[in-house]
């Protein structure tokens, strides 16, 4: 609250402001009210009224909680506007004094603030100094702690070393104590040879068998080691070692006796299926040779290895009354499943009994493969003799190979099943593989021998079929002048070649099964495929040669029945009949050879497709194997190609021989030198030409069907050239007049149209030139020179033709031509 000052000019009680008026929640309205309430008593009354009846009269609420009445506000407003307000001077004086007081208060406050700033700055400096000192103290404390930690660590290490020394000392003490005990026991065993009656009760107490076994093993190891060290020495050392030999012998005897007792106890528990007792015995026995004897004893006493009925059942299940691959496969699948189930049951017992179950499983699985499976394989897989193999009717070598493949595949499946059951560290797949090592070493030779055996059997079958057909058709033996051969040629059978490929494909599948490495596989595949190449090459070549023999026989018949020039009509008629029979035989042989050629091509295509689809991919992993196989295939087929080439040459000779016979027998001199020269011309080809074209058209249908591509083009081109030469030589025997020349030209046109079907441009060109040459018989002598102006290359042949004109001498064409050619 403000109070009055002595210096106040208002009613001798000037207003003094206190600094406390500005503390807390300051309100200007409250301050103003306190200043003027003594000068304006009405303000107090209004405030009292407002306090008595708050909200009745009009009041204004102030921010500091005070209220202002409406009447007071009206009075103030009236006092300002009206000069009659008497307190105005007093209020002005009061306000001026208050302003001065406020200025003084501000100065006081500023002074106090400056003092406080200085004091704060001083205190801050002191505080910083204190903090620095504290930081130094803390650093010193940290250093002390570090030194203390290092000391503690050093003390701890020392204590650990002391503890290690104490532990070592205790261990040494324990070892020394045990050594004393062992030495005492060793002396007991070293007392006298074979005397085990004076041993400590430990070695006869059945409840302490495990401890006794452990001590006995330690004593025996020590004694044996001592003897081994003393062996090189002499003198006293040798005497000492002989003393320990007594202990070694007694210990060995005791260990054997103890091991036998434990094994007997183990067997008795095994009979009763007391797994806990078996486990206890197995654990103790594991101290003797790491338990090997116990594990081997357990495996050896399994019924599957000692029961004779089980072994006989295996044989009956797989072999049966007659061996066949399917029967063996079913039997092995059933047997191997039983073996796997038995091993799985044994595995459960082994896991519960033995401390090292993986070692026992390894021994068990090894025994299964080496005894049970090997015994069965010895009976099942009997190697055939390559010199005297079993006949094909009884299965041959192929039966052995098929059974071998089935047994190998099923045994590998068994190995994988046993691996899944568990076999320790045993390489069960490798062990199963080794069971067949002796068979795999000679596998390729047996496979090739089987293919050769099958091939020979197939040839015998085909030969027998051909013989049967011969007997049925009545062609056995050579009839007088009618039959071509004593037996019909055996045709090439594409079905037989397909069967060769099927055998080879089966053999390749076995190669893939038996050959684990790509290089080995490539070698075996190549050997088997080469066998197929040799068989197909031999088969095709032999049949082509036999087909050629028919052509050769037909040729010999033609030569035998050549008609002489001075024979009787009867003889000529008989010879003609025989010649026609020989021609029919030649035509039949020609068609048969073309069928052989066609089937040879089909067979080669089958081999090529088989190589591309099945063999090639197996050879590619090995460098050079694919190329070498291609070379072998080309070499193998070269002999067949040679036989085919020679046969095609004989076919052309056969055709030309018949063409020559037809021309000789059918061509008449009057065909080209008609006495009716100049009369009506006959536009038909001669009878000889018609017969030749008809014959060739009929016979060559077989060639058009059998030959393809370049082979067909080469054959027809060669035939066309021979036909051209044969016709030239034939026509050189005749004389031509102009009408005969026209008839010749008609024949040439007929021949030209026929050979056009050969699609041989060089042959077509020759027959076109023949048409031009025929004009020399038609034109007048004086016009001959104009015929060859555009084709000087045919002058030589034209000169020969001109000499065949019937007017060659009368027209003196020789001198005229000589002057023509010279000019």
Helix or strand or coil: residue 3?
strand
Tell me the C-alpha to C-alpha distance, in Å, between residue 168 and each of 163, 183, 223, 453. Answer: 8, 21, 26, 81
**pTM for the full predicted model:** 0.67
Within 8 A by CB and 6+ apart from 727, the residues are 663, 751, 770
| pLDDT at residue 5, as a whole number | 40
| pLDDT at residue 648, as a whole number | 94
| pLDDT at residue 792, as a whole number | 66
Cα separation, 380 vs 531, in Å, equals 27
Q: Name the CA dihedral angle for 312, 316, 318, 321, rounded to a multiple of 10 degrees.
A: 150
| pLDDT at residue 210, as a whole number | 61
pLDDT, tens digit (0-9, with 9 covering 90-100), for 597-631: 999 999 999 999 999 999 999 998 888 889 999 99
What are the residue ranges in the chain where pLDDT is below 50? 1-15, 51, 53-82, 234-241, 475-488, 565, 567
Tokens of 638: 């070269």
| pLDDT at residue 239, as a whole number | 46
Q: Are 595 and 491 in contact (CB under 8 A)?
A: yes
Cα separation, 629 vs 625, in Å, equals 6
Cα separation, 738 vs 736, in Å, equals 7
DSSP conformation letters of 59-120: EEE-TTS-EEEHHHHHHHHHHHH-TT-TTHHHHHHHHHHHHHHHHHHHHHHHHHHHHHHHHH
| pLDDT at residue 202, as a whole number | 58
């Amino acid at each position: 609250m403000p109070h009055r000052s002595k210096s106040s000019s208002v009613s001798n009680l000037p207003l003094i402001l206190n600094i406390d008026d500005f503390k807390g929640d300051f309100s200007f309205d409250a301050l103003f009210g306190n200043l003027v309430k003594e000068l304006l008593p009405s303000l107090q009354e209004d405030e009292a009224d407002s306090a008595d009846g708050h909200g009745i009269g009009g009041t204004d609420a102030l921010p500091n909680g005070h209220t202002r009445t409406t009447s007071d506000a009206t009075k103030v407003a009236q006092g300002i506007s009206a000069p009659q307000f008497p307190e105005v001077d007093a209020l002005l004086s009061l306000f001026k004094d208050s302003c001065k007081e406020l200025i003084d208060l501000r100065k006081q406050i500023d002074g106090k603030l400056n003092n406080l700033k200085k004091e704060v700055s001083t205190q801050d400096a002191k505080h910083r100094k204190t903090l620095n000192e504290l930081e130094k103290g803390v650093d010193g404390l940290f250093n002390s702690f570090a030194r203390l930690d290092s000391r503690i660590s050093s003390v701890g290490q020392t204590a650990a070393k002391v503890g290690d020394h104490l532990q070592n000392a205790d261990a040494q003490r324990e070892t020394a104590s045990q050594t004393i005990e062992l030495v005492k026991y060793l002396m007991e065993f070293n007392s006298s040879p074979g005397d085990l009656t004076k041993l400590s009760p430990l070695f006869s107490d059945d409840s302490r068998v495990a401890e006794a076994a452990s001590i006995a093993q330690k004593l025996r190891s020590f004694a044996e080691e001592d003897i081994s060290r003393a062996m090189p020495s002499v003198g006293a050392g040798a005497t000492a070692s002989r003393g320990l030999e007594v202990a070694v012998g007694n210990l060995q005897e005791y260990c054997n006796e103890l091991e036998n007792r434990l094994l007997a106890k183990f067997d008795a528990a095994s009979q009763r299926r007391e797994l806990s007792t078996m486990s206890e015995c197995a654990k103790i026995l594991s101290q003797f040779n790491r338990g090997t004897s116990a594990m081997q004893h357990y495996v050896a006493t399994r019924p599957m290895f000692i029961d004779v009925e089980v072994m006989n059942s295996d044989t009956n299940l797989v072999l049966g009354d007659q061996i066949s691959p399917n029967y063996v496969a079913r039997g092995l699948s059933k047997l191997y499943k039983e073996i796997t189930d038995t091993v799985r049951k044994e595995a459960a017992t082994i896991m519960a009994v033995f401390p090292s179950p993986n070692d026992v499983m390894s021994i068990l699985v090894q025994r299964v493969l080496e005894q049970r499976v090997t015994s069965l394989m010895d009976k099942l897989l009997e190697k055939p003799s390559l010199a005297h193999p079993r006949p094909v009717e009884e299965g041959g070598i192929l039966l052995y190979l098929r059974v071998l493949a089935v047994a190998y595949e099923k045994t590998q499946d068994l190995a994988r099943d046993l691996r899944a059951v568990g076999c320790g560290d045993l390489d069960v797949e490798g062990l199963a593989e080794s069971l067949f090592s002796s068979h795999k070493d000679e596998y390729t030779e047996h496979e090739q021998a089987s293919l050769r055996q099958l091939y020979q059997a197939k040839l015998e079958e085909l030969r027998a079929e051909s013989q049967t057909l011969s007997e049925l058709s009545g062609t056995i033996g050579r009839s007088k002048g009618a039959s071509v051969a004593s037996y019909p040629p055996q045709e090439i059978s594409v079905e037989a070649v397909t069967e060769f490929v099927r055998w080879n494909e089966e053999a390749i599948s076995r190669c893939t099964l038996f050959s684990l490495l790509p290089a080995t596989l490539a070698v075996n595949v190549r050997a088997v495929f080469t066998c197929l190449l040799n068989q197909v090459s031999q088969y095709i070549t032999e049949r082509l040669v036999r087909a050629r023999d028919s052509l050769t026989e037909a040729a010999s018949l033609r030569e035998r029945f050549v008609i002489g020039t001075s024979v009787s009509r009867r003889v000529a008629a008989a010879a003609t009949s025989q010649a026609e029979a020989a021609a029919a035989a030649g035509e039949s042989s020609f068609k048969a050879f073309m069928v052989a050629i066609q089937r040879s091509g089909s067979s080669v295509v089958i081999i090529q497709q088989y190589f591309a689809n099945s063999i090639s991919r197996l050879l590619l992993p090995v460098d050079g194997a694919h190329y070498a196989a291609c070379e072998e295939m080309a070499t193998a087929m070269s002999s067949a190609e040679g036989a085919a080439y020679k046969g095609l040459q004989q076919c052309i000779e056969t055709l030309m021989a018949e063409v020559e016979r037809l021309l000789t027998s059918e061509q008449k001199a009057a065909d080209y030198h008609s006495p009716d020269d100049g009369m009506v011309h006959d536009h038909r080809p001669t009878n000889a030409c018609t017969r030749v074209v008809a014959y060739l058209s009929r016979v060559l249908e077989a060639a058009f069907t059998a030959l393809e591509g370049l082979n067909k083009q080469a054959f027809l081109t060669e035939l066309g050239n021979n036909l051209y030469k044969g016709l030239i030589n034939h026509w050189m025997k005749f004389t031509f007049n102009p009408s005969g020349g026209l008839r010749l030209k008609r024949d040439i046109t007929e021949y030209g149209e026929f050979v056009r079907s050969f699609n041989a441009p060089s042959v077509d060109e020759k027959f076109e030139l023949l048409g031009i040459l025929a004009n020399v018989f038609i034109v007048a002598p004086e016009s001959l020179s104009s015929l060859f102006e555009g084709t000087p290359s045919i002058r030589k042949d034209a000169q020969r033709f001109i000499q065949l004109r019937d007017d060659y001498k009368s027209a003196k064409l020789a001198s005229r031509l000589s002057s023509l050619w010279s000019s």
